[in-house]
Amino acid sequence: MLYTALGTAALPLLPLRLWWRGRREPEYRHALGERFGRYEMTAVDAPLLWVHAVSVGETRAALPLVQRLKVAYPRASILLTHMTATGRETGRSLFGDGVTQAWLPYDLPFAVHAFFRHFRPVAGFLVETELWPNMVAHAHATGVPLFLINARMSRRSARGYAHVPSLTRPLFARLTGIAAQSPDDAGRLAALGAPAPVVTGNVKFDIAVPAEARTLGRELRIRFGATRPVWVAASTRDGEESLILDVLAQTPLPRETLLVIVPRHPQRFADVAALLGARGVPFVRRSDNRPVPADVGVVLGDSMGELLAYYAAADLAFIGGSLLPLGGQNLIEALAVGTPVLIGPHTFNFREAAIGAVASGAAQRVVDAEALILAVEALFRDPAQRDAMHEAAGAFHASHRGATERLMHWLEPQLDGRGLRG
């Protein structure tokens, strides 16, 4: 097919691309052979359940599922695959030696066949929207059940899939089952050819905030200044930091206010540091591990795996990816901590959660960066409103828990008889 022909033509360039990306993220240069189906690790003898989580968000979403799979099938081993360096690092941080980690190979027939031949998974679980035609086709042809779980499908993505029905309709039809986050997601997936998707909810609501994250949050708050107003701009994307800094230069917040900027991608830490330096904005890096002087108004959150702690240390959280038309990043983690949330106009990646959080009073939506700074200022002047949002965040998060339980209730009958229980 044309899809495979194009992938094969690009094959000579793929190692160069990985090596280039490895300049800023060395993990991309690790185990390059795995990207092409060459695995040096010894295959496990136990029944193997495969979970694919492309990057950070999907890996964190997979946590409650992996935990439940381990309880339900203690004989089974778990294989966790990724496509991005940050996803692999997050998996290592969350799971340690409790799972086997590997790169998912590129979606070329020879690499896909080698992957299945080496690992021999009993079943596979693809988190959210990561679909590869050759991978799905091979699983279907060899009788390996493949489930799309915590599935989401925005209107924009659905339009893109609909443009190539000859590729996407067989792709969705070959999946064993699809568990969608919401009825809207399920409807769009069914229209694309998915076989009877069910709605189990968003497993990201099942996150449990570790005690270590709250402890680190308290430590960070002391470093930031226990009595200072602190807000975090979390998971910001390229261009958003400039928008925020532009407004702050024109209408600064009170002098004692501290802004913690946590870029979404670690390869941008240096870029944001350069941006702050070029604008003459004094800042302290989180990686410096030192108290923030009272005359410094910005902290650069240049660390991985500490977002929950940043939320715990802050009075307010703005969730990035939403000022620009990028779909927004995960607001659920901030709600789980109980931190009042501000979001921009673009939240189609978390549409249901964003609408619900605003309706419940746990979050406020702003139209642009100027409105964001005005909202921050207003909330810092109104502790009663912040307290109300804190209570609403906890209640909203609690009311949406249980997706993993519903997911497992749906999955277990389909996995019975595959040698997982002994």
Rounded alpha-carbon distances, angstroms, from residue 266 to 1, 86, 317, 340: 36, 8, 19, 25
Of 41, 36, 188, nearest in space to 107 by CA: 36
58 an active-site residue? yes
Of 382, 331, 374, 336, nearest in space to 355 by CA: 331
317 contacts 293 by C-beta, under 8 angstroms: no
Angle formed by the axes of helices 351-360 and 383-399, nearest 10°: 130
Cα separation, 75 vs 98, in Å, equals 13
Q: Choose the catalytic residue: 34, 58, 240, 306.
A: 58
H or E element, residue 51: strand 48-52
Q: In the chain, count H helices and then E strands.
A: 18, 14
Angle, CA 338 vertex, CA 183 and CA 126 arms, to 5°: 40
345 contacts 358 by C-beta, under 8 angstroms: no
Order the strands of the 316-319 sheet from edge to edge: 283-285, 298-300, 258-263, 230-236, 316-319, 341-343, 363-365
| DSSP track, 97-149 | GGSEEEEPPPS-HHHHHHHHHHH--SEEEEETT---HHHHHHHHHTT--EEEE
Exposure b/e, 28-62, CB count within 10 A at least 16 = b = beebeebbbbebeeeeeeebbbbbbbbbbbbbbbb
| One-letter amino acid for residue 119 of the chain | F
Cα separation, 167 vs 163, in Å, equals 9
Please give the structure tokens belonging to residue 369: 């960066």
Find where tokens 């009272």 sit.
Answer: 294
Which 3 state secondary structure label does DSSP give 319? Answer: strand
Catalytic residue positions, numbered: 58
